[in-house]
Amino acid sequence: MTELFYSGAVVAVIATLLVIVQTNVVHALIYLVLSLLSVAVVFFSLGAPFVAILEAIVYAGAIMVLFLFVVMMLNLGQRSRDQEKDWLPARTWFVPSVLAAVLLMQLTASFPSAQTQIKEIGARAVSELLFGPYVLAVELASFLLLAGLVSAYHIAKKS
């Protein structure tokens, strides 16, 4: 499982970097999907298969499809690629990289030893928690989704 974790993590980091660097929106989206899938692999290797597969279904499979759907209709061409290039010149990299490096050092310092004991949490355990102690949070989340649904209906309605 450790090898799986590290390979998933490496792919996630590289893919996320490529999302930022890419100037072509569609390529960036493809790398974002790859990044989400490798995060799913990381979850799986940490003993959370249910969360991993939900990440793949919801984020990689549904939300990113909608992103791509929107990009498809925008018809972005060479102009947006040039614009992206202008927005990300080499000098903007300096300060964020330093800050990220500091953050990374702090992170590695605060986790001196990795936990090696992994307990697998299946779908049943997750749902018992969701509909047991956290049922209020689930209800609130569904309120939020319903509100989004109703407002989307309102906006899309023919007047």
Task: Give the binding-site size for other proteins (rule: CB under 8 A).
Answer: 24
- CB nearer to other proteins: give 49 or 88: 49
Binders of other proteins among 26-85, rule CB under 8 A? 26-27, 30, 33, 49-50, 52-54, 56-57, 60-62, 65-66, 68-69, 71-73
Residue 72 CB, shortest distance to other proteins, in Å, is 5
Q: How far is the CB of 83 from other proteins (least distance, A)?
A: 17
Which of 24/97 has CB closer to other proteins? Answer: 24
Shorter beta-carbon distance to other proteins: residue 26 or 118: 26
By the rule CB under 8 A, 9 interacts with other proteins: no
29 within 8 A of 67, measured Cβ to Cβ: yes
Nearest-CA neighbor of 28 among 76, 62, 91? 76
Closest CA to 75 of 19, 18, 25, 23: 25
For binding to other proteins (CB under 8 A), which residues are involved?
Answer: 24, 26-27, 30, 33, 49-50, 52-54, 56-57, 60-62, 65-66, 68-69, 71-73, 122-123
